[in-house]
A and B are shown apart, each in its own frame.
Chain A
Amino acid sequence: MDMSFSPEEIAFRDEVRAFIADNYPQELRDLKTRGDMTKEQILMWHRILYKKGWIAPHWPVEYGGTGWSITQRYIWNEECARAETTPLLPFGLSMVGPVIYTFGNEEQKKRFLPGILSGDDWWCQGYSEPGAGSDLASLRTKAVREGDHYIINGSKTWTTLAQHADWMFCLAKTDPDAKAQDAISFFLIDMKTPGITVRPIITMDGGHEVNEVFLEDVKVPAENLIGEENKGWTYAKFLLGNERSGIAGVARSKKAIERLKNIAKAELVDGEPLLDQEEFSTKISEVEIDLTALEFTELRTLAAESKGQGPGPESSILKIKGTEIQQRITELTLEAVGHYGFVYAPHGHERTGNEYVPGPEYAAGQSQNYFNMRKTAIYGGSNEIQHNIIAKMVLGL
């Protein structure tokens, strides 16, 4: 057991910190939320890291990874969160990328990995359907083989940022007779293919983040099938495990607590900082302690992973606790801003230039952020489903 950084690791941290300081674009520093960003802005930091060769630290070196140790990756995440760099989109780098290099053929690796790394291809996740959320295996989108193509029909929903996507990885049924888990295949679909329609879904915070995607006689070349036909469920679950651990967001939550404390310092109760009110500072301490526990749980998981174990069902702990903590922080932040929580801050797509958003800058959009973050207990497999997984797979109930 050892927690301290070696001199080499400290040198690495300094290098990383300096790189971010020198290269993170001013244009992005001036922005507040991803909701306000253009497609190019969302990709800006991605492209800079790609050029540097640091875009995919968690990938094997042969496919473009950095070869960093667990500790280095931990340092990297900490430094990014510390500098509040724009989070990288997970759909290519953390979701479909690892599926492709693990289960795809040489041709597919050559064709798709470079675009994921460079950011030239924007991916979206076509799993959920109106009738298939928690029970993902009950999905009904169908793919029928016709010569060297599949014809795909069905609809996907809640597809995050599909409005910008070039590609979608998509689950579809290829065997109408088999039991669900043996009937699903994993496809890569070019979003420009005729027959695909994307329609926005506006969430309660007013943002446009998710979409419906309709597929009508969409012709997908057979070479875009990953692995074997009817084995897609295996790949899909592999991906979900990675998605879950990615949602924990420990380093980002640390930063969010720091921001919360700054807000609570500025807000006054009877002339004294809110942060000095015992009932409020106690609540911050509680969430901070929860986060410390989660941080060490994550480090234990990572350490086990580096020895070749996992990520097993333990990733469900990271997902549940990580999202509970994120939600709690946004709730406390909303509480901290007091009356100005009422103010509606228009999203990028609603702006006309004449909006008036009163109150301190730190208050803007905090209630909407709180509303929006309710999603984290729903997506990536709802927190109820994660409880079921732990009960069954870990406790053997």
Chain B
Amino acid sequence: MDFSFSEEQTLLRNTVQSFLQDKYDFDTRRKIVASDEGFRRDYWQQFAELGLLAAPFSEEMGGLGGGAIDTMIIMEEFGRHLVVEPFLETVVLAGGFLREGGSPAQQEELIPGIIGGEDIWTFAYAEPQGRYNLADLKTTAKKDGDGFVLNGYKCVVLAAPWADKLVVTARTSGGQRDRDGVTVFIVDKGADGVSTRDYPTVDGRRASEITFENVKLGADAVIGEVDKGLPLVEKVTDQAIAALSAEAIGGMKELNEATVEYCKTRKQFGVPIGKFQVLQHRMVDMFMAYEQSVSMTYMVNLKVEEEEAERKKAASGAKVQIGKAGRFVGQQAVQLHGGMGMTDELSVGHYFKRLTMIDTQFGNVDHHLKRYSSAA
């Protein structure tokens, strides 16, 4: 039993930390979010140069062979700085699909573009009627000669305005919510018939609504097996949940530190407000919520490669924990900062908003409680 990090992992953390300390302070982040493009392409290149985009890929695929734990380290540090660049979408999600389900030819062709920072990807899966059910799809891909024709609509596709390529789920057979009949496709965002409408999100990112109208796809656009895509989708989204958990603990850590610091310095009634026992206990509860979330984050990242039932429980369990803890820590951090916590000026509200939205990503507490129960 050993929960310590290897030398390489510590080095990785230091690399990410020193980059972000230098280049991703809160003011810079504010400017990035307000800029026309909404993210920094030059930073993305630097992530590539630092090897971050290669970290989780195996050495055979041209990566550094770090796996889930390296991803966890990167995401935790990103969470501490509220990084908006699409690491989760490109490396964890699209990279995950290619790693777990891609053919050798697809891996050879597409992974270098991710590692090198040339291609940005995202995962278009959500549909308005489907909520968090990954199989509830109205988007269809009909057989057409060797290939397929894609039609449908995907909502709130995060990072899509920045993306060159999309991983898209579509129904190739069966009824709207059948587990069978789901297929995963690679779609060029620039392909004929793909149209997007972009907008900002409340947590400082960008998203698109995407319409597919008779988009022609070759047989080589399929990742994994036709009609048998759902297990792959579940596996990769569970990996994304493991990564999101890490981002969440990064955010909670910052909020807790900021809150304790604020309560030590802010004076009312002639004493630092941290002297009031009710606030002390509140901060202890916030601290415990964070520690429990760290534990669940380690747990899920260690178990994300296990067999299906075990993995599902791990991912859903972690998602429930970070959903609840993120809400509590976020709300209380705002509350203990008083009026200051409500401002756009302080970072507190921005962490709170991000933690709130993390609960929505890939299913909220209720969704994962149910999923956990049915996996158990």
A-side residues, CB < 8 A to B, are 128, 131-135, 138, 157-158, 201-206, 210, 267-271, 274, 277, 279-280, 331, 334-335, 338-344, 355-360, 367-368, 370-371, 374-375, 377-379, 382-384, 387
Q: Considering the chains assembled together, what is the distance between the CA atoms of A331 and B365 in angstroms? A: 13
Cβ of B160 to closest chain A Cβ, rounded Å: 12
- The 8 Å CB contact of A271, one of B177, B207, B342, is B177
Across the interface, name the chain B residue whose C-beta is closest to A204.
Answer: B349
Across the interface, name the chain A residue whose C-beta is closest to B136.
Answer: A270
Is B366 touching A204 in the complex (CB atoms < 8 A)? no
Residues of chain B from 305 to 339 with CB closer than 8 A to chain A in the complex: 327, 331, 334-335, 338-339
Q: Which of B279, B331, B342, B353 has the most CB of A within 10 A?
A: B342
Given the known interface contacts A201-B343, A204-B342, A270-B177, the answer about A338 and B350 at a Cβ–Cβ threshold of 8 Å is no
Cβ of A323 to closest chain B Cβ, rounded Å: 11
Mark B122-133 against chain A: 1 for CB-CB distance below 8 A, else 0: 000010111111
Cβ of B352 to closest chain A Cβ, rounded Å: 7
B364 at the interface (CB under 8 A from A): yes
A selection of 9 A-B contacts at a CB cut-off of 8 Å is A131-B267, A202-B343, A268-B129, A271-B176, A338-B132, A340-B128, A344-B202, A377-B335, A379-B339
Interface hit among B55-63, B69-77, B107-115, B193-201: B193-201
Cβ of A130 to closest chain B Cβ, rounded Å: 9
Across the interface, name the chain B residue whose C-beta is closest to A158.
Answer: B339
Residues from chain B with a CB closer than 8 A to the CB of A128 are 339
Is A358 touching B197 in the complex (CB atoms < 8 A)? yes
Is B353 touching A339 in the complex (CB atoms < 8 A)? no
Q: Total contacts A to B, CB within 8 angstroms?
A: 144
Is A269 touching B339 in the complex (CB atoms < 8 A)? no
Across the interface, name the chain B residue whose C-beta is closest to A283.
Answer: B366
Q: Considering the chains assembled together, what is the distance between the CA atoms of A210 and B269 in angstroms? A: 24
Q: Considering the chains assembled together, what is the distance between the CA atoms of A175 and B70 in angstroms? A: 63
Residues from chain A with a CB closer than 8 A to the CB of B1 are none
- The 8 Å CB contact of B131, one of A267, A371, A382, A384, is A267
Cβ of A200 to closest chain B Cβ, rounded Å: 10
Cβ of A56 to closest chain B Cβ, rounded Å: 29
Residues of chain B from 83 to 120 with CB closer than 8 A to chain A in the complex: none
Nearest 6 interchain pairs by C-beta: A204-B349, A135-B268, A339-B156, A202-B344, A342-B201, A344-B200
Across the interface, name the chain B residue whose C-beta is closest to A384.
Answer: B278
Mark B202-244 against chain A: 1 for CB-CB distance below 8 A, else 0: 1100010100000000000000000000000000000000000
Given the known interface contacts A133-B338, A359-B155, the answer about A343 and B133 at a Cβ–Cβ threshold of 8 Å is no
Is A384 touching B276 in the complex (CB atoms < 8 A)? yes
How many B residues have CB within 8 A of the partner chain?
52
Is B202 touching A368 in the complex (CB atoms < 8 A)? yes
B-side residues, CB < 8 A to A, are 126, 128-133, 136, 155-156, 158, 176-177, 197-203, 207, 209, 267-270, 273, 276, 278-279, 327, 331, 334-335, 338-339, 341-345, 349-350, 352-353, 356-357, 360, 364, 366, 369-370
Across the interface, name the chain A residue whose C-beta is closest to B350.
Answer: A204
Q: Considering the chains assembled together, what is the distance between the CA atoms of A274 and B200 in angstroms? A: 26
Is B342 touching A374 in the complex (CB atoms < 8 A)? yes
Q: Considering the chains assembled together, what is the distance between the CA atoms of A254 and B128 in angstroms? A: 27
Is B126 touching A339 in the complex (CB atoms < 8 A)? yes
Is A371 touching B349 in the complex (CB atoms < 8 A)? yes
- The 8 Å CB contact of B156, one of A203, A277, A342, A377, is A342
Given the known interface contacts A356-B197, A371-B349, A378-B339, the answer about A203 and B344 at a Cβ–Cβ threshold of 8 Å is yes
Residues from chain A with a CB closer than 8 A to the CB of B279 are 384
Across the interface, name the chain B residue whose C-beta is closest to A370.
Answer: B356
- The 8 Å CB contact of B345, one of A134, A202, A335, is A202
- The 8 Å CB contact of B343, one of A204, A269, A338, A359, is A204
Q: Considering the chains assembled together, what is the distance between the CA atoms of A339 and B155 in angstroms? A: 8
Is A358 touching B199 in the complex (CB atoms < 8 A)? yes
Apart from A342-B207, A344-B199, A384-B279: 5 A-B pairs, beta carbons within 8 A:
A341-B357, A342-B202, A344-B202, A358-B155, A375-B339
Q: Considering the chains assembled together, what is the distance between the CA atoms of A360 and B128 in angstroms? A: 9
Cβ of A233 to closest chain B Cβ, rounded Å: 15
Residues from chain B with a CB closer than 8 A to the CB of A375 are 339, 342
Q: Which of A268, A270, A387 has the most CB of B within 10 A?
A: A270
Q: Considering the chains assembled together, what is the distance between the CA atoms of A277 and B370 in angstroms? A: 11
Given the known interface contacts A134-B269, A371-B349, the answer about A268 and B131 at a Cβ–Cβ threshold of 8 Å is yes
Is A279 touching B366 in the complex (CB atoms < 8 A)? yes
